[in-house]
Structure 1
Amino acid sequence: MEITRSSFTISEIRDMWQRRELIVNKNYQRSSSVWPDSARTYFIDTILNRYIFPKVYFYQVFDKTRKKVIREIVDGQQRLTTILCFLNDDFPLTSRSVKYQGKRFSDLDEDLQQQFLTYSVEVDIIYSAEQSDLLAMFTRMNAYTAPLNPAEKRHAEFEGQFKWFIIEATGEIGPRLVNFNVLTSKQAIRMHDAEFLTELAIVLDLGIMNKSDTSLTQIYRKYDKSFPREAEFRGRIYEFMQLLEQEFAPLKNTFITKSYVCHSLFCALMQRKYGIPNGNEFGTQTDGVFFTNLQKTIDALSALAGAHELQDISGPYGPYVEACLSTTHRVKQRKIRSIWLYNALI
C-alpha cells in the first residue's frame, strides 16, 4: 500500500465529481445521511473564513470498463458532499454564519466565489491497496487516537441546534477563556471550553445544579431539534465574557478566574441582573444591573479571591473558602459560592 499526500482545489474536486472520476465508497462511510443545515452552514462558513478542516482520503483505482483512473472517497463524504451541494445552490446558509446568513453560493460576490473555488483541500491518496489494507490502516489510525472524553462523545452523538450553538460559542469565546486563565490550552483542546459553556447554559435553563454527564447530555437532547432560547442564551453568555475582559479585567490572574469560581460568578451576575431559575435562594434582588459601584465590587471580589488563594478558612470569608476547596462542582458548594459572590456585587 502506498500513500501520496496531495491537495485539490474545490474547483478540481467539483470537476472530478461531475466527470464521475470521484465517487463515494460506501464500504467505508459511516452514514449516507445529510448533515442538518446548522452543521452544513458551520462547515461552509469554515471554508469561507479560510480556516482549515481535517484532510480527506481517496483510494485510487483503475476502472477497466471505462479505462480511466477513479478515486473513491473513503473518508470525508459528508464534508465533500456538503461542498458540492453548496456549489449547486441546494441550501442557503443559516444564522450559524454571521457574515453570510441567507446566502447560497450564487449569492456570493464574484471574489468570494473565486476564493471558495480555489480553497485547497488536503487529501491523502491511497494506491495499490486491497480492502483489507484500507481497513487495517483505519484501524491502526484509530488505535492511536485518544479515547473520547464525555464532551467529545456528546458532540459525536448530537447534530442538532444546541450542539452547533455550543460549537459557535466555543469558537468565539473558547480562546478568550484561555486568555483570561479560566481554562488552560490543554483543557480547551479536549473541549473543556465547550463543557464550561454548556454548564453556563444549564444555569440559564434550570438554575444551579450538580455537574454531571447526565445533566450536560440532557440539555443537548432537550434543544437538539429546536432551540427557541438561543438568542437569549448567546446574549447573556457573551455579555458575561465581555464583562470579565473589560470591567473585571483587574481580576485576571486572581483566584476569581478558577473555572468553578467563574461558574458561580456567572450565577451571581445573572441572578442580580436578570434572575435565574430558583435564584431567589441566594439573591432576592433582581434589578437589571450587575452592580452599581464597580470599584467596590472589584475590591469585594478581590478580597474573596485573596482568601481563597491563602486557603483562609478561619477568617471572615471561611464558608466561601471552604466551598472552593472541595467537591467544587456539587450544588451545595456552588450555592454557597454564589451567595458570597452575589453579595460582593455592590
Structure 2
Amino acid sequence: MKEHSMKANSAPMSVADFCKGLLQGDVKVNHDYQREENVWNSYMKSYFIESILLGYPIPKIFLYVNYDLKTKSSLKEIVDGQQRSLALRQFFENKLKISTRIDTEAFRGKLYRQLEPAEQQTFLSYSLSVDEFYGVTEEDVREAFTRMNANNVALNPEELRNARFKGEFKWFVNRIAKTFREPLLQHRLISRRDIIRMSDIRMFAEFFYMLDRGISTTKSAQIDDLYAAYNLEFPYEDDYGKTCVKSVTHWLEAGYGDLQQLGRKHIFYTHIAAIAEHQTQGAISMFIKGDDQITVDRILDKKIGLEELEAALSDEQTDDEDHPLREFIEACAAKTNVGHQKLVRYAYLLGALRNDAGA
C-alpha cells in the first residue's frame, strides 16, 4: 500500500506580495482545480475587497508549490482561491472599481488609487491566510482538494441558494436582512446561529415571495425560482425595499417584537406582509382570489385584536380544542410553510391591525 506524506505548510502572505506573485507569474491558476475566471460579478468582488479593507477574515487560499530543480525556482499554483485571487489582482491593478452599493460609503465607486493612503496601506498589508502543498504529486493535490470539499459541513437550502445565485436579488435580500439584524436579535426573533445558517435571510425571502407572487406553499424550489427570476435583473428593488423597510419599521416601533407568542419567525414574515397590506392596500390582496378571498373575508369579519391572538397562543390555551381561535392556533403551530396556513395567519393579523387601528 502506497504511503502518503501530504505536506501542508502555513505560509501567510501580504496582499502586496501575493499580487506581485500573480503579476510576475510566480503564482498561477491551474484550471484542473479551479473553475473558469470571472464567475464572481462586480458586486461580489467589491464585497470581498470591502471585507479586506475592513479587516475581516476571509477563507484560506491553498497553493501547490512545484519546484524546478534545474532553475532552483518554484511555481505556485492556486488549488483553491481563484475568484479571490482575481478580485485582488484586478483591484491591485486599478481594473476593478468598488461597487457603489456596498455598505461602506467611503469606499464606494473607488479604484485602488483613489483610496486614502491609510486605506491603501490596509489593503496592501492585509495578511492572507495561505497553505502551501509541497513534496507531493499533482495526483495527491487533486485528492487533497477532493477531500477538502467532501469534508465540508452539509449546507442547508439557504446556504446552497446563497452559493448558487450571484445576482441582484440575492444581494438585495442579504442587505435587507443585514439592515434589521441587530434589532431582530435584540427582540430575540432571531439568534446568532440563525444568522450563521442564514435563517434570517430565508425569513425575508418568504416575505418578498408573498410581495411578488402572493401567498402560497413555499419550499426550497419555490424560493429558488424567485431568486432565479431576478438573478440577472431586479427592477423592483426600490419598491420592494421601501415596502419592507416601512413594514418592519412599523413592526419594531409598534412593539410587536415584545409579544412572546407572536414573535416567531414564521409569524413575523406573515405579520409584516399584513402590515404591508394595511399600509398599502393591494400589496398582498391583489393576488388573493376565489376561495382564498372568501377565507380572508370570513376571518376579517371576526374583529379580533392582536392581544387576543397573543393570548390564544399561550401555553394555557393552545390545548383547548374548542377555542374560538383554534384555526389561528393551528395555522401557527404546524405546516407553517403551507399556503393555507400562511393565508390564515395573514388574515388574522391583518384583521387585528385593522381592528386595533379602529378601522
Which band: TM-score by shorter chain?
0.7 to 0.9
* Displacement of 1:157: 2.2
Q: Deviations over 1:48-94 (max 9, x none)?
A: 22221111101122134653222211100100111110122213222
Structure 2 portions without partners, runs of 5+: 1-5, 298-303
Residue 107 (1) aligns with residue 114 (2): yes
Q: Is the 8 A contact 1:92 1:104 kept in 2?
A: yes
Residue in 2 that maps onto 1:256? 262
Q: Out of 321, 333, 336, which is 2:329 matched to?
A: 321
Q: Is the 8 A contact 1:313 1:321 kept in 2?
A: no
Between the aligned residues of both structures, percent identity stands at 28
After TM superposition, the structure 1 = structure 2 runs for residues 260-275 of structure 1, keeping only pairs within 5 Å, are 260-274=266-280, 275=282
Q: Deviations over 1:148-170 (max 9, x none)?
A: 32222222322211122233334
| Distance in 2 separating the partners of 1:313 and 1:265 | 24
Residue in 1 that maps onto 2:167? 160
After TM superposition, the structure 1 = structure 2 runs for residues 1-346 of structure 1, keeping only pairs within 5 Å, are 1-64=6-69, 66-98=71-103, 99=105, 100-174=107-181, 176-248=183-255, 251-252=257-258, 254-274=260-280, 275-279=282-286, 281=293, 282=296, 300-310=305-315, 311=318, 312-345=320-353, 346=357
Partner of 1:73: helix, strand, or coil? Answer: strand
| Distance in 2 separating the partners of 1:252 and 1:135 | 53
Partner of 1:148: helix, strand, or coil? Answer: coil
Partner of 2:11: helix, strand, or coil? Answer: strand
CA RMSD of the aligned region, Å?
Answer: 2.3
Q: Deviations over 1:221-240 (max 9, x none)?
A: 11111111112323333344
- Cα separation, partners in 2 of 1:252 and 1:277, compared to 1, 3 Å: closer
| Distance in 2 separating the partners of 1:56 and 1:238 | 38
| Distance in 2 separating the partners of 1:236 and 1:66 | 64
- Cα separation, partners in 2 of 1:238 and 1:121, compared to 1, 3 Å: farther
Q: Deviations over 1:277-329 (max 9, x none)?
A: 4356448xxxxxxxxxxxxxxx9434312311321553343321121122211
Partner of 1:257: helix, strand, or coil? Answer: coil
Structure number with bigger Rg: 2
Q: Is the 8 A contact 1:95 1:101 kept in 2?
A: yes
Structure 1 stretch displaced more, 313-322 or 202-211: 313-322
| Distance in 2 separating the partners of 1:180 and 1:63 | 60
Q: Deviations over 1:76-130 (max 9, x none)?
A: 0100111110122213222331313222212211111111111221111111111
Structure 1 portions without partners, runs of 5+: 284-298
State the TM-score, normalized to the length of structure 1: 0.87
| Distance in 1 separating the partners of 2:8 and 2:248 | 45
- Cα separation, partners in 2 of 1:45 and 1:267, compared to 1, 3 Å: same
Partner of 1:255: helix, strand, or coil? Answer: coil
